[in-house]
Chain A
Amino acid sequence: MTTEGTTERPAERRVRVVLVDDHRMFRTGVQAEIGRTEETGVEVVGEAADVDQAVTVITATRPEVVLLDVHLPGGGGVEVLRRCTALMADPEKPVRFLALSVSDAAEDVIGVIRGGARGYVTKTITGTDLVDSVFRVQEGDAVFSPRLAGFVLDAFASTDAPPVDEDLDRLTQREREVLRLIARGYAYKEIAKQLFISVKTVESHVSAVLRKLQLSNRHELTRWATARRLV
């Protein structure tokens, strides 16, 4: 019962999603693209157009995944993330955030990832890929667009000969390789084939990168962002 083009997930898998975007047209479009629950398994349980609305709707509906726009009236996606920190940390039913934005400017991307979003995709993404990303995020994996992978590589590239205690924040050779392939436009499945590892391993590498990205707050990323006057 698996659909062509999406990942191999059981058809009965369902994910509850809240859409946060200040453009009604865009919400309608996303809803039409991924909201056909029978086909995609995505159920849109709520919509919000600004920060306050988003926090209310997310708290009330407790979705598994929130598709979050970066630019929102009332403080932006970062503000929503800040006010939902408790929900994200909930061990029982964590709410996970996937940033979906038209902007792929470095400051926007880095901002929401630091805020705790599990991934970042741009609005040019196709419906199939978006459904795929939503399920990935629901399972706790990180979803990187090629551009985001590029930013991350850039952020970690300029560190040469770091002190030993910063080792934790550095990317391993393998993680770097995976990111590089993402940046080159490979899908997770293709990366797995290329590197002779399983898709699960690819996903765990990407999740490790995400964790390091948040960890490295006080090290490379800050320095990198400061050097580019992003913070």
Chain B
Amino acid sequence: MPVAARMPETTDEPPVRKLYRSADGRMLGGVARGLAGHLGLPVIWVRLAFLGLFLADGPLGTLLYAAFWLTVPLGVGGRAPRPLLETTPDGRRRLRKPDRGQVVALIALMIGAVVFVGTVDLGGRANRYVWPTLLVGVGVVLVWRQVDNARRASWTEPGRRKRLFQLARGLAGVALVGMGLTVFMVVRGSAAQLGTALTAAIAVLAGMALLAGPWLVRMSQDLSEERTMRIRAQERAEVAAHVHDSVLHTLTLIQRNADDAAEVRRLARAQERELRNWLYRPEGTGKDEAEEPQTVADAVRRAAAEVEDKHGVPLEVVVVGDCPLDERLGAQMQAAREAMVNAAKYGGGGGAVQVYAEVEGRTVFVSVRDRGPGFDLDAVPADRMGVRESIIGRMQRNGGTARVRSAPGDGTEVELEMERAEADG
């Protein structure tokens, strides 16, 4: 088979590697870790490179790092596939290793910062701008990390303590930025003007909020509207897919079997039922079709559907109330199924078979009725066990009652009554 032989080759191609920032084992934004994972280098090299860039040309290194941070999405991809970082399979060693790296990196970063401050400090007069700038920078970094964490929270459910910590960090970031801005103003003016500066700042902020507020609200409305539209389009696509998968195939089958009236009817009934289930059932149900039914309503519907498919006779099912199945009810369901099979086999000529099930208090009642020719129960030969054993006998053995009413020409009705077991109330 040439096709099969070619398949593995194409799938063996390495998947397209995408650059992600690493979510764990990171110091700031996870840029270095992510790049290291992407390029297959030890993370310390990347960090040193960034540090070198930063020291050699402060703005460029910072800008480069910031650009990566802003544009590259946070992911888990960078770290996991690199065996270089996970030298031992032992969990503890693996945890400790990035720890030490982080400490080293932190020390390096501090040295770098001191050097940076030292070089800038030479300017003397520029000093009054440096500290506010640093404050603002650290604040921004903290807030950005916060945003990242919020995004990460969608993958992992954070604990309460962690969330508190995150909140504190976010607040700290905002406070730092605010402090830096204030210091900026105060340093430029004099300390006495602090009040005026603060008032002005607050006024500006309030004005901006007023200006941007309506716009923000509208944007969020537009966004939610767009989301609704998208959901609707998705739903439509799903409906289309379902119709395509099941309905169109059935129609094709019907065209092919146009001469076989019974087969066409069977196909149409089965398709109708399936589509109806799919359209009107609440979300989530009907998906686990392989599982055994858990309730009376479920069991009756499923038995009817199977009999309908097998014998090509429509069964109309009405279920009132519901309760979980127990052993006795299970037996009743089997008897009901047998009755349905009989009705479909012998009474199908007279139209749909009516199946009615009702759970009322402790009693479960099932009636199966057909409008076929009917028969005389006493006239059935003794060796035919269908009705006697499978329906009446089974019900009696399990403590229920079965009644078969049939008159020639008037159809047959089987009534099954069973008390629910005592165990469940």
Contact = CB atoms under 8 A, between A and B. Distances in A.
Interface of A: 103-105, 124, 126, 146-147, 149-150, 153-154, 157-158, 180, 183-186, 229
Contacts of A185: 316, 352, 354, 356, 369
A169 B367 CA distance: 27
B354 A153 contact: no
A44 B322 CA distance: 42
B181 interface: no
5 contacts: A146-B318, A183-B358, A184-B354, A184-B413, A185-B316
A126 B351 CA distance: 10
Interface of B: 276, 279-280, 282, 314, 316, 318-321, 351-352, 354, 356, 358, 360, 367, 369, 413
Contacts of B367: 184
Nearest to A185: B354
A153 B280 contact: no
B320 A153 contact: yes
A104 B276 CA distance: 9
Given A157-B321, A185-B354, 6 more contacts: A105-B279, A105-B280, A126-B351, A147-B316, A147-B318, A153-B358
Nearest to A176: B360
Nearest to A147: B318
B316 A154 contact: no
Contacts of B321: 154, 157-158
In this complex, which of A105, A126, A184 has the most chain B Cβ atoms within 10 angstroms of its Cβ? Answer: A184
A183 B360 contact: no
B277 to A, nearest CB: 11
B374 to A, nearest CB: 14
B315 to A, nearest CB: 10
Contacts, number: 45
A104 B272 CA distance: 12
A146 B354 contact: yes
B210 to A, nearest CB: 41
B316 A146 contact: yes
A192 to B, nearest CB: 15
B282 to A, nearest CB: 8
Contacts of A154: 320-321
Contacts of B319: 150
Nearest to B356: A184
A54 B99 CA distance: 75
B119 to A, nearest CB: 68
A150 B356 contact: yes
B200 to A, nearest CB: 54
Nearest to B318: A150
Nearest to A129: B351
B320 A183 contact: yes
Contact of A103 (B280, B351, B352, B360): B280
A183 B318 contact: yes
Given A105-B280, A184-B367, A185-B369, A157 B356 contact: no
A124 B356 CA distance: 18
A183 B356 contact: yes
A89 B273 CA distance: 38
Contacts of B279: 105
B360 A157 contact: yes
A124 B358 CA distance: 23
A158 B280 CA distance: 22
A180 B358 contact: yes
B344 to A, nearest CB: 14
A55 B358 CA distance: 40
Contacts of B351: 126
A215 B196 CA distance: 70
A103 B278 CA distance: 12
A153 B322 CA distance: 12
Nearest to B370: A185
A148 to B, nearest CB: 9
Contacts of A153: 320, 358
B146 to A, nearest CB: 38
B205 to A, nearest CB: 45
A152 B238 CA distance: 33
In this complex, which of B282, B318, B351, B356 has the most chain A Cβ atoms within 10 angstroms of its Cβ? Answer: B318
Contacts of A184: 318, 354, 356, 367, 369, 413
A157 B320 contact: yes
In this complex, which of B276, B279, B280, B356 has the most chain A Cβ atoms within 10 angstroms of its Cβ? Answer: B356
A19 B128 CA distance: 85
Contacts of B369: 184-186
A157 B386 CA distance: 34
